[in-house]
């Protein structure tokens, strides 16, 4: 039986929350004891440069992500655990992949499209507030995945497109140079495909609607009290389900 490579990473921006845990950490910890697998978990510090503004903030967040991984049970004896910026080959591969990636594929990336749509609503330049780090973000993520010939990537539903793009880029490369790169697959747990935040939208640091992993009791109580709930009667249909998972 061939050995499978399984990889996932977390971007060090903002405080770690339960969406990070269920989307990336928990699936990887469950994979950790499987035989015939190699595991890679990393802190995606270069990805954070699209939003993080100071070196001190980036350093602090990077150590926090690493600490959370270890506190949740990651075993460095079983998993190759690293910081993205410590592997220069990732960025070399990104440059190579960028020369094979159609611009149209990047135009369809969710993060870029979200900003473009907002710019159109505001009737300003479509590329306002778009830098090349954000635009090429999926190519760097593809390099993260493909550098280790990854077979499976545990992700939340919101990250599925990034694995799909990595798969497309791997196929572009292989069609030109032969079957060099492994074509990856996403692994999404149905029960936690999308973790809903305090306001009913997807839990995200960008929306400021997260439940932090290591809040103290008072902060956690205050956070939970913000969750939007449904005031309809017990026998009436529920219109809000952001704290109910079936």
pLDDT for position 40: 93
Q: At what angle do helices 137-146 and 160-177 cross, to 10 degrees?
A: 70
Q: Are 182 and 151 in contact (CB under 8 A)?
A: yes
The active-site residue, picked from 103, 121, 123, 190, is 123
How far does CA 55 lie from the centroid of its chain?
21
Residue 53, pLDDT score: 79
Is 103 an annotated catalytic residue? no
pLDDT value for 245: 43
Catalytically annotated residue among 26, 78, 160, 202: 202
Contacts 24+ apart (CB under 8 A), 204-210: 204/19, 204/158, 205/13, 205/14, 205/15, 205/17, 210/14, 210/15, 210/17, 210/18, 210/19
pLDDT tens, position by position, 115-166: 999 999 989 998 998 999 999 999 999 999 999 999 999 887 778 899 999 9
Is 160 one of the annotated active-site residues of the chain?
Answer: no
Q: What is the pLDDT of residue 199?
A: 65
Pairing of strands 80-83, 185-187: unpaired
Q: Domain locations in the chain?
A: 4-194
Question: Can you list the residues of the chain whose pLDDT is less than 50?
Answer: 244-246
What is 193-216 written as a DSSP string? Answer: SS-B-TTSSBP-GGGT---BTT--
State residue 234's pLDDT score: 63
152 is catalytic: no
Look up the pTM and report it: 0.80
Instruction: Name the CATH topology of 4-194.
Output: Rossmann fold (3.40.50)
Q: What is the pLDDT of residue 29?
A: 81
């Amino acid at each position: 039986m061939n050995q499978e490579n399984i990889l996932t990473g977390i971007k060090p921006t903002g405080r770690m929350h339960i969406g990070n845990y269920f989307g990336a950490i928990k699936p990887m910890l469950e994979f950790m004891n499987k035989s015939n697998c190699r595991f890679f978990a990393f802190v995606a510090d270069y990805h954070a440069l699209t939003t993080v503004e100071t070196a001190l903030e980036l350093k602090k967040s990077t150590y926090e992500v690493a600490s959370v991984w270890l506190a949740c049970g990651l075993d460095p004896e079983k998993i190759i655990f690293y910081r993205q910026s410590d592997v220069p080959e990732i960025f070399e591969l990104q440059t190579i992949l960028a020369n094979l990636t159609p611009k149209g594929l990047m135009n369809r990336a969710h993060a870029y499209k979200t900003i473009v749509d907002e710019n159109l609503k505001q009737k300003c330049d479509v590329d306002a507030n778009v830098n090349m780090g954000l635009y090429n973000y999926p190519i760097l993520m593809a390099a993260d995945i493909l550098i280790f010939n990854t077979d499976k990537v545990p992700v939340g539903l919101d990250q599925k497109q990034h694995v799909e793009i990595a798969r497309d880029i791997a196929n572009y490369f292989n069609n030109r140079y032969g079957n060099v790169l492994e074509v990856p697959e996403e692994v999404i747990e149905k029960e936690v495909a999308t973790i809903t935040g305090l306001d009913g939208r997807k839990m995200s640091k960008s929306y400021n609607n997260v439940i932090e992993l290591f809040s103290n009791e008072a902060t956690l109580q205050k956070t939970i009290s913000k969750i939007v709930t449904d005031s309809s009667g017990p026998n009436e249909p529920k219109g809000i389900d952001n704290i109910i998972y079936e």
